[in-house]
Amino acid sequence: MKNLTPFPIVKKGKGALIYLNDGRILIDSISSWWSVIHGYNHPELNAEIKKQTNKIAHVMLGGLTHEPAIKLAEKLIQITPKSLNHVFFSDSGSVAVEVSLKMAVQYWVNLGLPEKNKFLSLKNGYHGDTFKAMEISDDSDFVKAFDRVLSKNLFLSPPNESFNQKNIDAEIEILEDTLSKNHHEIAAFILEPIVQCAGGFKIYSPLYLKAVKKLCNQYNVLLIFDEVATGFGRTGKLFAMQHAKVSPDILILGKALTAGYLGHAATIASSKIYNSFLGNGYEKAFMHGPTFMGNPLACAIALKSIEIFEKNNYLIKIKKIEKIIKKEFSPINSIIVKEKRILGAIGAIELIDKKFLIGFQEFALNKSIWIRPIGSVIYIMPPYIIKKQQLIKIIEVIKLWISITDSKLKKSNKKLT
């Protein structure tokens, strides 16, 4: 806070554009933290939220239920893998992650194996900012202050070459070794399938996810997929796990679920998990009740968002976005670029040092682009309705920054020699 300049004040949004009070108009390259997939101020979503508001804006989901919650649960069960049949609503991705972890621990308690209470997760993973989510996340800037409060989690490195990497034997060997030594105390393996987003947009091979599935089965460890960021088309499939054709015991959805209109999330479990919580009293029951779980406005918006996604063939739109990013990224070639990573509507450029991004956000803002790099990674995750020319403009500004920085560096290197 000490070093911040005042933020631009937003007046309104429309499509992929953010309008500021001072008259400037920005192209949003990151969908407001990856949630606003249909763009801002969407007429159908606006109409839906008004319609639902005129019926009921909120009612508790304890002891009562309502049509938007029932219909959304049914829809989520329909579009997710066959084995996932039970939905628990909460108000944010982090809470939905907590819910999944609590479910995993209590599943083993209910089965009489309380010693299975630890978690396995991935280096570079990010699962939210609440306490247990921090424990299983690998992000030192976010968790450093809480080192003494957090207990130690087991982290594994996913293969890190590319989506197409074939030889992942070393990573599988470590995974198998870890599971064979520790499985009797591990409740679950939680991971972001295929793309680790906040941890720097690292993309790993679906073969690894297949191996994780197989070995978790073999060693009796539950599998949790956190698709809060990757869900709803972001990686080119409706869900990232579909690249590997595997399903988890518990799936977490958030962010794009409600198209950026309201905070809501879902934790979806298999019948195997669900059945273990059935009993005659509260002993086995899952005791968690977020006040705004299943909020009718959020559920109505989520349903409408999925309807728009299906009706307008969004997966084709996303393929087109991927093609444009690939084409526009391909000439980028600089000594400051370490790697380019593209999958679906995600494009990331990792630089060799984050110092080469000092001033970049302001540079882009002055050229009407809203973008926020993470560490040494410039990334774009545009709304799926973005126009081709808008997307090209975003990438042009990135290219311009890279070429200016590249020539500055070359000049100063020349001076040195």
Ligand X SMILES: *Cc1c(COP(=O)(O)O)cnc(C)c1O
Binding site for ligand X (CB under 6 A): 92-94, 97, 126-128, 192, 197-198, 226, 228-229, 254-255
Question: Whose Cβ is closer to ligand X: residue 15's or residue 290's?
Answer: 290
Question: Whose Cβ is closer to ligand X: residue 39's or residue 128's?
Answer: 128
Instruction: Please tell me the distance from the alpha carbon of residue 212 to that of residue 207, in angstroms, as a whole number.
Output: 9
Question: Whose Cβ is closer to ligand X: residue 128's or residue 159's?
Answer: 128
CB 143 → ligand X: shortest distance, Å?
A: 14
CB 187 → ligand X: shortest distance, Å?
A: 18
Check if the beta carbon of residue 59 is closer than 8 Å to that of residue 280: no
Q: Dmax over Cα atoms in the chain, in whole Å?
A: 79
Spatial CA neighbour of 324 closest among 399, 389, 410: 389
Instruction: Please tell me the distance from the alpha carbon of residue 344 to that of residue 323, in angstroms, as a whole number.
Output: 9
- Identity of the residue numbered 24: R
CB 231 → ligand X: shortest distance, Å?
A: 9
Spatial CA neighbour of 349 closest among 371, 377, 384: 377
Helices 296-311, 43-55: axis angle to 10 degrees equals 150
Q: In degrees, to the nearest 5, what angle opens at C-alpha 289 toward C-alphas 286 and 291?
A: 170
CB 92 → ligand X: shortest distance, Å?
A: 4
157: its two tokens? 């490195």
Question: Whose Cβ is closer to ligand X: residue 228's or residue 321's?
Answer: 228
Instruction: Please tell me the distance from the alpha carbon of residue 197 to that of residue 374, in angstroms, as a whole number.
Output: 10
Question: Whose Cβ is closer to ligand X: residue 250's or residue 336's?
Answer: 250
Question: Whose Cβ is closer to ligand X: residue 26's or residue 346's?
Answer: 346
CB 87 → ligand X: shortest distance, Å?
A: 17
CA dihedral defined by 77, 79, 83, 84, rounded to 10 degrees?
Answer: -40
CB 401 → ligand X: shortest distance, Å?
A: 25
Question: Whose Cβ is closer to ligand X: residue 17's or residue 240's?
Answer: 240
CB 14 → ligand X: shortest distance, Å?
A: 24
- Identity of the residue numbered 182: N
Q: Could you tell me which residues are beta bridge partners of residue 339? A: 350
Question: What residue ranges in 239-386 does DSSP mark as E strands?
Answer: 250-253, 265-270, 337-343, 346-351, 369-370, 377-380
CB 35 → ligand X: shortest distance, Å?
A: 8
Question: Whose Cβ is closer to ligand X: residue 3's or residue 140's?
Answer: 140
- The alpha-helical segments, DSSP class H, found in 254-311 are 271-276, 296-311
